[in-house]
Amino acid sequence: MIEFSLPWFGIFFAVFCVMEFNAWFLHKYVMHGFLWSLHKDHHVVDKERWWQRNDLFAIFFAVPSFFSILFSTLLVSPYLGAFGFGIMFYGAAYFFVHEIIIHRRIKIKGLNRGRYIKAVKRAHHIHHSIKEKEGATCFGMLVVPFKYFK
Ligand SMILES: [Zn+2]
Ligand SMILES: [Zn+2]
């Protein structure tokens, strides 16, 4: 049973925001670091295959979120649930923006509009312009530097 309250939404929103930092950190220091072997096929894509090794990183969102929500119901701890849903919604937003809007792995028409979406795409395409482990920029996803809005 979820008990929505102001602190619940506070935690949910804070976790959602912290996840952007986590995603940035994971991308910059882990995916372009010691787990480059799993991230590489997202930069050098094999068009014949739908799945990428890089998709395994979804586990970083799914596992903590799944267990937080599970234990929030078992322990009747709504705030743990807020934590889990914060991660889950960030994961869903990341999936929607990165896999669907930017990389179009699932084709949905009419999404390519608006200044924000164009800025997100511009920044991420700059990230992809480097095909190597070293030298890439723009590791974030939902937070885009102002210069890409122009
Ligand atoms: Zn990358
Ligand atoms: Zn990408």
| pTM for the structure as a whole | 0.92
- Spatial separation of the C-alpha atoms in residues 123 and 42, rounded to whole Å: 16
Residue whose pair of structure tokens reads 């014949």 in the numeric block? 48
pLDDT score of 1:
56
Is the Cβ–Cβ distance between 90 and 15 less than 8 Å? yes
- Spatial separation of the C-alpha atoms in residues 75 and 148, rounded to whole Å: 45
Among 31-35, 98-102, 145-149, whose mean pLDDT is lowest?
145-149
pLDDT score of 135:
92
Ligand nearest to the CA of 101: 2
Residues 139-144 have a mean pLDDT of 95
Is the Cβ–Cβ distance between 133 and 43 less than 8 Å? no
pLDDT score of 2:
67
How many angstroms separate the alpha carbon of residue 8 from the centre of ligand 2? 32
Interior angle at CA 129, CA 94 and CA 55, nearest 5: 35
pLDDT score of 48:
87
How many angstroms separate the alpha carbon of residue 29 from the centre of ligand 1? 10
Give pLDDT tens digits for 49-102.
Answer: 889 999 999 998 899 999 999 999 999 889 999 999 999 999 999 999 999 999
Residues 6-16 have a mean pLDDT of 96
pLDDT score of 112:
85
Render 93-148 in DSSP notation, one character per residue: HHIIIIIIIIS-SS--TT-S-SHHHHHHHHHHHHHHT--SSSS-----SS---GGG
Pair of tokens at residue 68 = 């937080």
Average model confidence (pLDDT) across the chain: 94
Residue whose pair of structure tokens reads 């070293």 in the numeric block? 134
How many angstroms separate the alpha carbon of residue 6 from the centre of ligand 1? 36
- Spatial separation of the C-alpha atoms in residues 56 and 130, rounded to whole Å: 21
Model confidence at 35: pLDDT above 90: yes
- Spatial separation of the C-alpha atoms in residues 93 and 85, rounded to whole Å: 12
Model confidence at 133: pLDDT above 90: yes
Interior angle at CA 15, CA 85 and CA 107, nearest 5: 60
